[in-house]
Structure 1
């Protein structure tokens, strides 16, 4: 088990719960952002899905570093930029969203390729 990945998944999972709770109970949106609630829900969904991906990667003591980093920075850029855009009503933040989405996609692609090419662990004696 990779304890750092499990820790990272735990912390990001807590933040996803906090974001979901905030969105459900406290989010007040500007009339200039008509789709803000749906956008917030999308950000939380992508955040959570990739936390679960990180948690599943924590089972592996080694390897999968690139997908881990892609998921981490993808969450920060994709979900983080959407959260910040809605909270600040500053549309400049959404310029980062496609980079985050691309990192999430690259993370999944790299995970699949690495899983295919990875040698299975040697059986225990």
Structure 2
């Protein structure tokens, strides 16, 4: 088990619950931006999908370092930039969103690559 991956997934999962709760209780009645609740929901959804992927990679003590880092930084950039945009109203934050989305996609390709090219340990 990889403790860093599992810790990161747990922390980001907790933050995802906090973000979902905030969005449900505060943004639903907020006059911030007309699209803020939908944008917030998208950020939360992508965060949780990739937290689960990161958690599943935590089972492995070796390998999957690149996909794990891509998921970690992808969540921070993709979801984080959308959260910052909604909270601040500054659309400049959305410049980071495509980089985060790209990292999330690269993470999935990294999993595919690990599955194809990773050496198996000899069977006992």
TM-score bin (small chain): over 0.9
Q: List gaps (5 residues or longer) in structure 2.
A: none
Deviation at 1:44, TM superposition (A): 0.1
What is the Cα deviation at residue 54 of structure 1? 0.4
Which deviations, in whole Å up to 9, do the C-alpha atoms of 1:58-96 show, x marking residues without a partner?
Answer: 111011111011001100000000000000001110111
Ranges of 4+ aligned residues in structure 1 off by more than 4 Å: none
Q: Structure 2: how far apart are the matches of 1:122 and 1:6?
A: 26
Question: What is the match of residue 95 of structure 1?
Answer: 95
Equivalent position of 2:25 in the other structure:
25
Question: Gapped runs of 5+ residues in structure 1?
Answer: none
Deviation at 1:3, TM superposition (A): 1.3
After TM superposition, the score normalised by the length of structure 1 is: 0.93
Q: Please give the root-mean-square deviation of Cα atoms over the aligned residues, in Å.
A: 1.0
**SS class of match (2:34):** coil
Cα distance in structure 1, aligned partners of 2:40 and 2:12: 16
